[in-house]
Chains A and B, each alone.
Chain A
Amino acid sequence: MITRFITEVNTKFNPFSTAARSTRLFLSSLPANARNQGMKIDTKLLPRTSADPAMLQVKFKDGKEMNLDGAKLGIKGIIEEVDRHSRFLQKQADLNDG
């Protein structure tokens, strides 16, 4: 997954719900040095009784915000959506540099 262009990740999930699985896996797919490179990662855990759906909000360097529904997309779908925009940004960055 291309994480260079992500500036902020906000998540909120109930770990006792099976629907939160992909959101949790997305958190674990962020690199070990993500926080050192200026990515803001904010996680909020919901209590066990809460029936709220998992929330995953990703912000990019160009200001685009994505609200992803982990229960519907699955971890592969989330990564696909994030990478789609990241590739676009990568292409622009390459053109500007070159």
Chain B
Amino acid sequence: MSARLNCSSARCVGRAIKTQTASPLSRAAPAAVTLSQTSISSTRHYAVASQALPTALGKLQLPQDYVSPTKPPTARRPETRKSQMIRAYTALLRSTPLMLLFQHNNLTAVEWAAVRRELRRALREVPAPIAGPDGSAPVDITESIHFQVLRTRMFDVAFKVVEFFDAEEAAKLSNGYTHDLSQTAYEAIQAADTTNPNTAYAQISPLLEGPVAALTFPTVSPAHLAAALKLAAQSGLQKLLLVGGRVEGKAFDYQGVRWVGGIEGGLDGLRSQLVYMLQSAGLGITTALEGHSKGLWLALESRRSQLDEEQNPKKEEGEAPSS
């Protein structure tokens, strides 16, 4: 793809004028000079403050491989709705650890409004957390839980970008752009093995067929999830089918999602359960180990007392005649 892109010419022109006024002597300099960059070895050209010679404005030219810093090259035209949709969905996928996928079968606008209203009401009744993770101030996520209809084809592409495009790896390439619409991202998802059943993409992509809506949570909050699931299980919402979910990058079916909703206290609750389990296991081990040694000690002790008893009467018998 050629790197011929428009740049904001106003800035370049302004800079040219400034240098011209600063050094009036150099008006005698040759007129037709291109606004060339100093770094020739680098393949990427940004608009840095260059020591360009003052030029006549009419002959102002940019190098052929000039790349605007605010508008890097893309694999698809960035102005289109679809491109921006991919960017929005990649951002959504990266920032959402808990996402429920629903199939919505011909809901009317009134029904959508009702679903969203009831969802708001159900989520507002969830008690706010007492403390945030690591003892920080609690954050109420209720307002950040959204229920949105997905464009499945664009979501599919965005999912591939998130799963198969490693931006850090691409940054090591000489001329690799690392944004989601870049050529490297496009090539990465073209080359990826999307049928490998071990990838989260291959597991979730069958769900992304037909009309799909997503309920997105900014954190894994089982209390909020349970409230939403309780709403979804109501008989009035037969048109919404919970087909699956994506929790911490893994695919879950409706039973798995319900299980996540049943975890008390969220991730911290699980951690405390684990700590309790380990502690009680340690207690069990110590008592078990102690038990054996205690038994052995008891056996030896009883044997000793038995031997003592056997010896003592002899002594008594032996001592008795002497006294």
Which positions in A face B, CB cutoff 8 Å? 15-18, 20-21, 24-25, 27-28, 30-32, 34-35, 41, 43, 45, 47-48
Contact B209 A24 (CB under 8 A): yes
Q: Distance (Å) between the CB of A41 and the closest chain B CB? A: 7
Query: What residues of chain B lie closer than 8 Å to A18, measured between beta carbons?
Result: 206
Q: From A19, which residue of chain B is reached at the shortest CB distance?
A: B206
In the assembled complex, the Cα of A23 lies from the Cα of B234 at a distance in Å of 23
Q: From B211, which residue of chain A is reached at the shortest CB distance?
A: A28
Binary flags per residue of B213-245, CB closer than 8 Å to A gives 1, else 0: 000000000000000000000000011011110
Q: List 20 A-B contacts (CB under 8 A).
A: A15-B206, A16-B207, A16-B244, A16-B253, A17-B206, A18-B206, A24-B103, A27-B241, A28-B103, A28-B104, A30-B105, A31-B106, A32-B106, A32-B111, A32-B239, A35-B238, A45-B253, A47-B255, A48-B253, A48-B256
Q: Distance (Å) between the CB of B274 and the closest chain A CB? A: 25
- 10 closest cross-chain pairs (CB), A and B: A48-B253, A15-B243, A32-B106, A28-B105, A18-B206, A21-B209, A28-B210, A25-B210, A32-B108, A24-B210
Query: What residues of chain B lie closer than 8 Å to A25, measured between beta carbons?
Result: 209-210
B66 within 8 A of A: no
Query: What residues of chain A lie closer than 8 Å to B108, measured between beta carbons?
Result: 32
Q: Distance (Å) between the CB of B210 and the closest chain A CB? A: 5
Other-chain contact of A41, B209, B210, B238 (Cβ < 8 Å):
B238
Q: Distance (Å) between the CB of B148 and the closest chain A CB? A: 17
B181 within 8 A of A: no
Q: From A15, which residue of chain B is reached at the shortest CB distance?
A: B243
Q: From B205, which residue of chain A is reached at the shortest CB distance?
A: A18
Q: From A18, which residue of chain B is reached at the shortest CB distance?
A: B206
In the assembled complex, the Cα of A30 lies from the Cα of B211 at a distance in Å of 12
Other-chain contact of B106, A15, A28, A47 (Cβ < 8 Å):
A28
Contact B238 A15 (CB under 8 A): no
B67 within 8 A of A: no
B203 within 8 A of A: yes
Query: What residues of chain B lie closer than 8 Å to A28, measured between beta carbons?
Result: 103-106, 210-211
B107 within 8 A of A: yes
Name 5 extra pairs, CB < 8 A, besides A15-B206, A34-B106.
A16-B251, A18-B206, A27-B241, A28-B104, A32-B108
Q: From A41, which residue of chain B is reached at the shortest CB distance?
A: B238
Q: From A35, which residue of chain B is reached at the shortest CB distance?
A: B238
User: Could you tell me which residues of chain B, from 101 to 127, have a CB within 8 Å of some CB in chain A?
Assistant: 103-108, 111
- Say yes or no: A27-B238 contact (C-beta < 8 A), given A16-B244, A48-B256: no
In the assembled complex, the Cα of A43 lies from the Cα of B207 at a distance in Å of 16
- Say yes or no: A32-B107 contact (C-beta < 8 A), given A15-B244, A17-B206: yes
